[in-house]
């Protein structure tokens, strides 16, 4: 992200300098004004986002406190046993992976990260080749980076803050794209494993409290700072600390759960546009009723979640400033116009407008950077949240994950340096997610 940010700013400055001295005097003055305006726009955007972000995080806190995370975990467990045949059903790794996927389904990224790191530590105990990713690790991270999410609350909140007439209408397109990405990740991780052998067997089982080590026995160097601690309700925190072997629901219940998710796809294709206006008020009522049935103090939990939403909105201001300033400078210098006109003949025929291509390229590298870039695109009067480009970048942000960051954090946490086929499977999932997002947006909203 450092190089990407530097590249954007230097490119904008060089383009403006060339145009200033050759064909367009005044470009450099426009560049200066764009940089200042972009910084102010970032703060204004974040302030407008506070209320909507607080609303959605307040609702998610009610669901989390009511045990929805654990309910989904118990529904997922029968499938997990089949996806990870090398991991014993009662092993701590299985419980941590189940909780990680459950948090991702609900869009609770802060909760998913500590569960994921715990899962990698437990999987490392089963690793016969220290320093080399096992098939279970590759499958876990490929599925993790595919970004399977049912509720892209952050994207909906941003769209609402920017005046979208239907901010939740990206739910059907996101569901289609994220489902395709996840299926691709699973099949790719399974199919590629045979072409990337792990090597000679070395049976090493480490206790959970021992620091992970690399193949030479030295303490692993963490490649990134540890992620911030998530604020979890007591029930979920207990699940994290104990990594329980959760009693699964009957297999028929798991089948119904996934049948319901898959049924949402044709339902979205048939009546998604008509039902989208009902989604936000429907979600509010459903989460409140769920909390009430589970005897959750809904008002207190909502306030706690809303407080977190306030902090999240403030925390993203620096990222918004960086990206919005860089994009504003690119636009004022004329470099962005040139880039779009250069790529449009290539990407437009396949349904991907050149304006959305930077978002597709940045998403695997930086989640915060991609979110800020999406905000810049959606707030641009030339595009806006309810145009083809706006629908597409919103779907891309809600249906894919920050591939390289996830791999670096999770593998770095246990000292794995030889990742085998994990990256290939994850990138194939990213490509599938992008293709599915393009197809879904054009299919559901052909008249946009």
**Each residue of 368-426: pLDDT tens digit?**
677 878 888 888 888 888 888 888 998 888 777 778 778 877 888 788 888 899 989 99
How wide is the angle at C-alpha 328 spanned by C-alphas 447 and 401, nearest 5°?
65
Cα(291)–Cα(365) distance, rounded to whole angstroms? 36
Q: DSSP string of 107-162?
A: T-HHHHHHHHHHHHHHHHHT-SSTTB--HHHHHHHHHHHTT--S--HHHHHHHHHT
* pLDDT band of 215, cuts 50, 70, 90: very low
How high is the pLDDT of residue 273? 55
Give CA–CA dist 358/196, Å, rounded: 32
* 81-100 confidence digits (pLDDT tens): 888 988 887 777 887 788 78
Does residue 230 have a pLDDT over 50?
no
**Among candidate residues 276, 212, 323, 259, the one with its CA nearest the CA of residue 79:** 259
User: Which one has a higher pLDDT value, 314 or 395?
Assistant: 395
Radius of gyration of the chain (CA): 22
In which domain, by residue range, is 88 found? 2-444
pLDDT at 32: 92
Report d(CA 311, CA 61) in Å as an integer. 14
Contact yes or no for 371/319 (Cβ under 8 A) = yes
- Burial class for 370, CB neighbours closer than 10 Å (0-12, 13-18, 19+): buried
The pLDDT assigned to 184 comes to 93
pLDDT, residue 209, reads 41
Which one is predicted more confidently, 248 or 292?
292
Residue 357 scores a pLDDT above 50: yes
Q: Show Cβ contacts of residue 145 under 8 Å, excluding neighbours closer than 6 positions.
A: 185, 401, 402, 403, 406, 407, 426, 429, 430
Which 3 state secondary structure label does DSSP give 418? Answer: strand
Q: Is it the case that residue 353 has pLDDT exceeding 80?
A: yes
11-to-17, 136, 246 alpha-carbon distances in Å: 10, 42, 53
Distances, alpha carbon 137 to alpha carbons 94, 106, 243, in Å: 11, 22, 17
Higher per-residue confidence, 212 vs 132: 132
The residues near 175 (Cβ < 8 Å, ≥ 6 apart) are: 150, 261, 264, 265, 268, 399
Task: Give the model's pLDDT for residue 220.
Answer: 31
Residues 77, 83: Cα–Cα separation, whole Å: 10
Q: What is the pLDDT of residue 425?
A: 93
- With cut-offs at 50, 70 and 90, classify the pLDDT of residue 136: very high
The pLDDT of residue 228: 39
How many folded domains does the chain comprise?
1
Backbone angles phi, psi at 171, to 5 degrees: -60, -50
Structure confidence at residue 102 (pLDDT) = 77
Q: What are φ and ψ of residue 418, in 5° steps?
A: -100, 100
pLDDT for residue 268: 62
Tell me the pLDDT tens digit for each residue of 163-187.
Answer: 888 787 788 888 888 889 999 999 9
The whole-angstrom separation of Cα 62 and Cα 79 is 27
Mean pLDDT is lowest, of 82-96, 182-196, 264-278, for: 264-278
Overall average pLDDT of the 205-223 stretch: 36
Q: Sorting pLDDT into bands at 50, 70 and 90, what band is 77?
A: confident
Q: Is the pTM of this model over 0.75?
A: no
Q: What is the pLDDT of residue 113?
A: 72
């Amino acid at each position: 992200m450092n190089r990407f940010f530097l590249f954007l700013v230097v490119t904008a400055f060089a383009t403006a300098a060339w145009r200033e001295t050759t064909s367009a005097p005044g470009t450099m003055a426009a560049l200066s004004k764009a940089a200042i305006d972009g910084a102010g726009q970032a703060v204004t955007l974040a302030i407008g986002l506070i209320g909507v972000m607080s609303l959605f995080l307040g609702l998610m806190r009610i669901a989390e406190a009511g045990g929805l995370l654990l309910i989904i975990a118990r529904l997922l467990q029968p499938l997990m046993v089949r996806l990870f045949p090398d991991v014993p059903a009662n092993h701590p790794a299985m419980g941590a992976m189940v909780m990680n996927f459950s948090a991702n389904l609900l869009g609770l990224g802060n909760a998913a990260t500590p569960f994921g790191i715990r899962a990698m530590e437990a999987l490392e105990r089963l690793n016969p080749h220290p320093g080399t990713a096992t098939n279970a690790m590759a499958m876990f991270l490929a599925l993790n980076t595919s970004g399977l999410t049912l509720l892209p609350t952050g994207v909906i909140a941003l769209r609402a803050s920017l005046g979208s007439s239907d901010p939740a209408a990206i739910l059907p397109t996101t569901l289609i794209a994220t489902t395709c990405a996840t299926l691709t990740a699973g099949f790719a991780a399974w199919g590629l494993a045979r072409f990337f052998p792990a090597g000679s067997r070395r049976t090493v089982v480490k206790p959970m409290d021992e620091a992970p080590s690399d193949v030479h026995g030295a303490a692993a160097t963490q490649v990134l700072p540890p992620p911030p601690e998530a604020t979890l309700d007591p029930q979920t925190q207990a699940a994290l600390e104990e990594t329980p072997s959760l009693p699964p629901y009957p297999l028929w219940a798991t089948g119904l759960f996934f049948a319901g998710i898959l049924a949402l796809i044709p339902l979205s294709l048939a009546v998604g546009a008509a039902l989208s206006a009902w989604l936000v008020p429907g979600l509010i009522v459903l989460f409140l009723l769920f909390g009430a049935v589970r005897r959750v103090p809904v008002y207190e939990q909502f306030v706690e979640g809303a407080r977190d939403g306030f902090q999240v909105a403030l925390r993203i201001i620096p990222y918004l400033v960086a990206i919005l300033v860089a994009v504003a400078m690119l636009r004022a210098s004329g470099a962005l116009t040139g880039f779009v006109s250069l790529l449009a003949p290539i990407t437009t025929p396949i349904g991907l407008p050149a304006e959305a291509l930077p978002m597709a390229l940045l998403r695997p590298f930086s989640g915060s950077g991609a979110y800020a870039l999406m905000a810049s695109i959606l707030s641009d009067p030339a595009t806006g949240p309810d145009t083809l480009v706006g629908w597409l970048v919103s779907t891309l942000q809600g249906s894919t994950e920050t591939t390289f960051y996830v791999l670096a954090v999770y593998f770095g946490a246990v000292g794995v340096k030889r990742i085998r086929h994990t990256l290939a499977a994850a990138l194939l999932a990213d490509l599938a997610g992008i293709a599915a997002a393009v197809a879904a947006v054009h299919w559901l909203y052909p008249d946009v």
